[in-house]
Amino acid sequence: MSTLVTLPKNGTVVRPNLNSWIDDWFGRDISSMFNTNFNSGITLPAVNIRETGEAYFVEMAVPGLKKTDFNISIDNNVLSISTELEEKNEEQNETYTRREFGYSSFKRSFTLPETVEDHKIEGKYHDGILSIHLPKKDEAKQKPARTIKIS
C-alpha cells in the first residue's frame, strides 16, 4: 500500500508523488479486488478439478456452510455451483437497538465435456469441502492396454 502524504519529523507536509500513486493503483491485481465480497471479506472459493480414467472430480473449500446452502445445477452442459446467504443480528437494550446484517454469495460455472454421464453426477459436503463426482460415459473411460497378436 502506498502512502499518499508523508509527514517528516519537522512537521512540514511533503506533496505526494502522484505518478507513484497512479503506478501503484494501476499496478494492483484489479481482478482480485472484484472477486472479494466487501461486506464480509469472503472471496470466490477456489476449486480443484482432477481427472481419472473413470471420472472428473470437483472439490471446493467452502467452510461454515450447510449442504442445504448450495444450489447445484446443470443446464446445457454447464455445471453451476452457487450459494446466497443472508445474516441478520438484532440486539435490544433499554437505551439502544443495534441491527447488523450481511449478505454474501458466489457462483462458479464450468462447461462439462461431452464425456460426462450427467444423470449420474453426485455431490457431497463434508468438513467444509464440497465434492462433486462426475463419472465418464463408458465409451470415454480409459481402456486397459492389451496385446495384439500378429498372425
Which pLDDT score, from 0 to 100, does residue 102 have?
A: 79
Which pLDDT score, from 0 to 100, does residue 30 have?
A: 47
Domain boundaries, the chain: 38-140
**For the stretch 111-147, what's the b/e string if a residue is b when 16 or more beta carbons lie within 10 angstroms of its beta carbon?**
ebeebbeeeebeeebeeeebebebbbeeeeeeeeeee
Distance CA 99, CA 87 (A): 11
Distance CA 32, CA 38 (A): 12
Please identify which residue in the block is written with the cell numbers 469441502.
129
Which one of 2.20.25.90, 2.70.50.30, 2.60.40.790, 2.40.50.140 gives the CATH number of domain 38-140?
2.60.40.790
Which pLDDT score, from 0 to 100, does residue 15 have?
A: 54
Query: How is residue 70 written as a grid cell?
Result: 448450495
Which pLDDT score, from 0 to 100, does residue 105 have?
A: 86
> Which DSSP symbol is given to 141?
S
What Cα–Cα distance (Å) separates residue 104 from each residue in 7, 37, 133? 39, 7, 26
pLDDT tens across the length of the chain (151 residues): 444 444 555 555 555 555 555 555 555 554 444 444 444 445 688 899 999 989 999 999 999 889 999 999 999 999 999 998 887 777 777 777 777 777 788 899 999 999 999 899 999 999 999 999 999 998 877 788 889 899 8
